[in-house]
């Protein structure tokens, strides 16, 4: 079975999914890891097939756009607006390269920033699985990472922060 893991973002967005890919490979699956060119060596050095996704997060990190994204901090709406501004010029090429990387897959696993994975899997008529490093659904165990920090009002508040965000 051919599994494609689709990730977009920085090294911190790639590294945990490489561990997942290694585990899947050890379990007998063929794994193709789709991400940005600067991470090719890291992916391949862990024994995973590499497929390129357009965009260079290293260059993003040196630009003013990413600086403004970081400065948006925990203000989720501001962060999303700035992310949209950052990605708009690249969106078509990123989406096309995601599509190309996923062809031939039997299963698709995608990170939250690689949200196009859902639609790609639907079009390819294959199962897909979002794999988030943060809760994908509201939880009372802790507040959203995008909510104000240091406020401890219990499970109801925690769940509400996820719903709000």
Parallel, antiparallel, or unpaired for β 2-6 and 128-130? unpaired
pLDDT, one tens digit for every residue, the chain (165 residues): 999 999 988 888 899 999 999 999 999 999 999 999 999 999 999 999 999 998 877 666 555 655 666 666 666 677 777 777 776 777 788 889 999 999 999 999 999 888 899 999 999 999 999 998 877 678 898 888 778 878 889 999 999 988 887
pLDDT at residue 15, rounded to an integer? 93
pLDDT at residue 53, rounded to an integer? 93
**Domains along the chain?**
2-133 (3.40.50.2000), 138-165 (no CATH)
pLDDT at residue 71, rounded to an integer? 63
């Amino acid at each position: 079975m051919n599994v494609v893991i689709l990730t977009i973002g920085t090294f911190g967005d790639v590294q945990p999914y490489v561990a997942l890919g290694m585990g899947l490979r050890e379990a007998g699956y063929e794994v193709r890891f789709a991400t940005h060119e600067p991470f090719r060596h890291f992916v391949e050095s862990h024994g995973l097939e590499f497929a390129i996704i357009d965009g260079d997060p290293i260059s993003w990190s040196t630009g003013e756009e990413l600086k403004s994204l970081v400065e948006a901090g925990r203000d989720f709406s501001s962060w999303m607006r700035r992310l949209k501004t950052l990605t708009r010029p690249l969106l078509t090429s990123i989406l096309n390269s995601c599509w190309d990387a996923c062809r031939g897959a039997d299963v698709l696993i995608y990170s939250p920033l690689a949200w196009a994975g859902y639609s790609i899997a639907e079009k390819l008529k294959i199962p897909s699985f979002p794999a988030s490093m943060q809760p994908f659904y509201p939880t009372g165990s802790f507040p959203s990472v995008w909510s104000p920090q240091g406020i401890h009002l219990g499970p109801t508040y925690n769940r509400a922060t996820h719903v709000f965000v």
